[in-house]
Amino acid sequence: MFQFNGFNMMFPDHSRPFNTTYKCYSVSMLPGNERQDVENGGKIIMPPSALDQLTRLNVVYPMLFKITNGSINRSTHAGVLEFVADEGKIYMPYWMMHNLALDQGDIVEIESVSIPVATYSKFQPQSVEFLDITNPKAVLENCLRNFACLTTGDLIAIKYNNTTYELSVLETKPGPAVTIIECDMNVEFAPPVGYTEPERKEKEEEPMTIDPTELMPEPTGFVAFKGEGTRLDGKKKKDNGTNDVPAAQRQTYVRGIPDYDHPYGLLRFDRSVRKTDQLESKLEDSKFQEFQGEGFNLKKNRK
């Protein structure tokens, strides 16, 4: 048990962990001013005698503890903030007492432990109001600075903008209990309790407000039977709607068909030169000219 090197010959090497029982109380029962820093975190306050015992043992730093309610065999993990509690008592946040189903003055077992550093954690908010936070990961990261450990199955409480939000710890890696002191941890959120996905309504095809045929150009040039008729006797024609002049027919609207085989990233420019003179001459030749036909006499000439 004694080693003859340095001061180890004077002090024995105790390998047994710190393990004792205390009466637990909420932070609101702590004498003195209100300690919101303890209530909004995951650390406990222990008596000075606990520090004296821990210094005599080979306790791994940072000091982490497993807190167990032996009556229901439920446990959680926490760090220590100060050693200023009354002898035989510890003070812890109310949410931690609620997780362990403890009342004021109940007996709990405190054991020093060494747990792995966190690499991943998943939380589930207990209210839909948590979605109103603009950047929940940044808010959670700031609030977890007052915590030392996370335990799978715990229901932790964080405070933001004078509102307390409860989060259930669904999963932690690499183990069911991890320390989050100076770690690089990936955080994920599950949908909050009571959250339902909004129903996605399929968009119905809205009818076009403008008929595409109205956008087609009006026919130019000669249009048959476009004029108005008059009576030879000078009387006004009866307006019974049967002799209305039909509206000029526009060109038929033909919807374009996209080229689905067009290669991606290729732009084509039409650089072909059209001979305008030939086109104009063809248009002039095909243009309708009035009274250019030949005349015929119905009466035969007498010889």
- C-alpha 134/C-alpha 215 separation (Å) is 48
In this structure, the chain runs to a length of 303
Q: Which of 153, 169, 189 is the last residue of a domain?
A: 189
pLDDT at 58: 77
pLDDT at 6: 44
Quick one: 41 and 89 in the same domain? yes
pLDDT reading at 66 higher than 80: yes
Per-residue tokens: 78: 């926490």
In eight-state DSSP terms, residue 83 is: S
Residue 251 counted as domain residue: no
- C-alpha 30/C-alpha 83 separation (Å) is 12
Q: Which of 189, 214, 230 is the last residue of a domain?
A: 189
Q: 180 near 148, Cβ under 8 Å?
A: yes
Is 0.85 topped by the overall pTM? no
Q: 94 near 30, Cβ under 8 Å?
A: no
Task: Summarize the confidence of residues 148-158 as an average pLDDT.
Answer: 93
Quick one: 163 and 132 in the same domain? yes
Task: Express each pLDDT in 261-284 by its tens digit.
Answer: 888 888 877 676 666 566 566 666
Task: Summarize the confidence of residues 178-183 as an average pLDDT.
Answer: 92
Structural domain span for residue 133: 120-189
pLDDT reading at 175 higher than 90: yes
Quick one: 95 and 131 in the same domain? no
Give the number of domains in the chain: 2
Quick one: 36 and 97 in the same domain? yes
Report, in this order, helix, strand and coil percent for the chain, each rounded to 5.
Answer: 20, 25, 60
Task: Report the percentage of the chain scoring pLDDT > 90.
Answer: 42
Q: Which of 133, 160, 189 is the last residue of a domain?
A: 189
Average pLDDT, the chain: 81
pLDDT at 257: 76
pLDDT at 10: 47
Residue 296 counted as domain residue: no
Confidence band, pLDDT 50/70/90 cuts, at residue 169? very high
**DSSP per residue, 21-63:** EEEEEEGGGSSSS--HHHHTSSEEE--HHHHHHHHTS-PPSSP
pLDDT reading at 245 higher than 50: yes
